[in-house]
Structure formats: structure tokens, C-alpha cells
Amino acid sequence: MPAEHVAQRIDGVAIAAAIRDEVARDVALLRERGVVPGLTVVLVGDDAASAVYVANKEKSSKAAGMASETIRLPSTTSQAELLALVERLNADESVHGILVQMPLPSQIDADVVIRHIAPEKDVDGFHPVNVGKLLIGHTDGFMPCTPSGVIEMLVRSGVETRGAEAVIVGRSNIVGKPMAAMLVQSRAGGDATVTICHSRSRDLHAHTRRADILIVAAGKAEMIHGDHIKPGATVIDVGMNRVADSTRASGSRLCGDVHFASAERVAGRITPVPGGVGPMTIAMLLRNTVRSAQRVADASGR
């Protein structure tokens, strides 16, 4: 790449805004049919970051015309109490989406809670039924919001995935694994050849340097630099880290898992942090909730 090269930025804020506009139109149509999409978020404890995320979800869902409720429980809540609440929400016909915000206090098993959420209301896409549907290519389940948001970014930015070498750094159940499952599907945003890298991968950078599409979701600040990237590649940075920075009044700054300054001199397209993948997660959550409400409306003949 020429020294003056700067990658095209993929604007997650703009793409997410377009999706939220689409959601708002769908909500208006459902309201005309007598169905108001309802999203309930459950927050257990007082984790500061979780509180911010939950507030943003509530604000965005209300802006789209949806019914939104946040149920806040103390950090001392028992697993039995939380499961009882989930069962009540499962039975509530006005609730189309249930999201239990993670992390949960140590006395609660997150996997048990996820399994208790009705799959048809699991708008986070974490229930084993929805995970299984994703893996085998069924489209009637819910896909996890962050990786499905990445697919939307790729498709709407005109990135060709068919036949592309896609490398994912990170193997979490939230991003890495479902991301791989989406990229190999035979549909828009898929048909890629996928490699998943992780902490036990040998010669990580040999893999990242051959990627046409590089998706980094490892949770390690600025671990991927420009010399780890194939010239012209599309780089999607899922990371969100706060690091010390004495030049900032706050004493810190947000950054991704990619060293942006060096990466944008090599990549063809790149997502910034913040303003990249982050806004897409909430947008896809809203879309999943509307899809759930549409199914209810269709099933009832409204």
C-alpha cells in the first residue's frame, strides 16, 4: 500500500441508524395490527457498565415505538428468584423479547438462566435451540446480536464474503463461534472460508495476514497491528477496551482490539472504536424483538 493510503471507515453509527429506522417502520405496521413489540431487560446487581448498556437499550427501544421495561433486581437475588421472574415473562403475552443482562452475580448460573428463557423470546440468540438453528442454517431462530450486526455491516458496505478468506480472532459463544457459523452459511454475508484463532493458535499473525476479512473479538487492547493485516483487507474490530491515556482529561480512552492508527494504513476497510460494531448490537436486538412480535401477530391472524 502507498504510504498515503488510509482505509475506508465502515460507519456503524450510520448503518445502525438505518436499521433502527427500518425497525420503527415495522413497529408502526405492527401497531396498526394491534401488536406492540415488547422488550423486557432484567438487570441484576449494580454493575456500572451493564447499567449503561441497559439504559441505552431502553432508550433505543422506546425511540422505535416499542414497549420497553427494565426490571432491576438487587445483587443478592437468588437463582430461584431470577428463574421465577423469567418464567413469568415467558408466560406474559405482551413480552416478545427477554434479555437478562450479563454478567450475573456469582450465585447465579448464567447457562441455567439462558436455558430457562423461551427460545421464541430469546432475542439475544443464546438459547441452545437458537444456537443449534444457526449452526444448521435454519432462519427461524434468533442470531446473536453482535455477530449478526457484523454481517449486516459487511453486506451493507458491499464487502464480498463469497469465497473470501475470513479469520476470526476469538472463540467466545457470544461472538467468535456464532460469527463463524454465520460466515459459512450459503446466503448473503456467507459462503466464506473461515478460520477461528484463539489463545492456543500457533503463529496467530500468519493467519491474520492472509485474511481478506479479519474480525477481532479477543478482548485484548490493540493486539492486532497494521503489520498483522493483509493489504486491502476488511477489518472488523469488535473489541471495546478502556486503557490509560495521560493525554486525556479523564486519564483514559476507549480502544478496540486493533491498533487503529497502524491498521488503517494497511486495510481497505475498517471499523473504528467507538462508532463501529457497538451501535449495531442494539440495532439487531431491536430487530430480533420485532421479528418475535411479527410471528405472534401472524400466528394470531392479526
Nearest Cα residue to 61 out of 277, 221, 282: 282
Q: Is the dihedral of CA 171, 157, 185, 164 positive or negative?
A: negative
Coil, strand, or helix at residue 180?
helix
Dist CA 78 CA 59 (whole Å): 28
Dist CA 78 CA 297 (whole Å): 35
The helix or strand, by DSSP H or E, that contains position 40, with its residue range, turns out to be strand 38-44
Dist CA 281 CA 264 (whole Å): 23
Dist CA 39 CA 70 (whole Å): 9
The helix or strand, by DSSP H or E, that contains position 75, with its residue range, turns out to be none
Whether 99 and 42 have beta carbons less than 8 Å apart is answered as: yes
Strands (E), 62-191: 67-73, 97-100, 165-169
Residues with active-site annotation: 57, 101, 124
The helix or strand, by DSSP H or E, that contains position 98, with its residue range, turns out to be strand 97-100
Identity of the residue numbered 190: G
Nearest Cα residue to 277 out of 291, 257, 247, 249: 257
Beta strands 252-255 and 241-244, pairing class: antiparallel
Residue linked to cell 488510509? 6
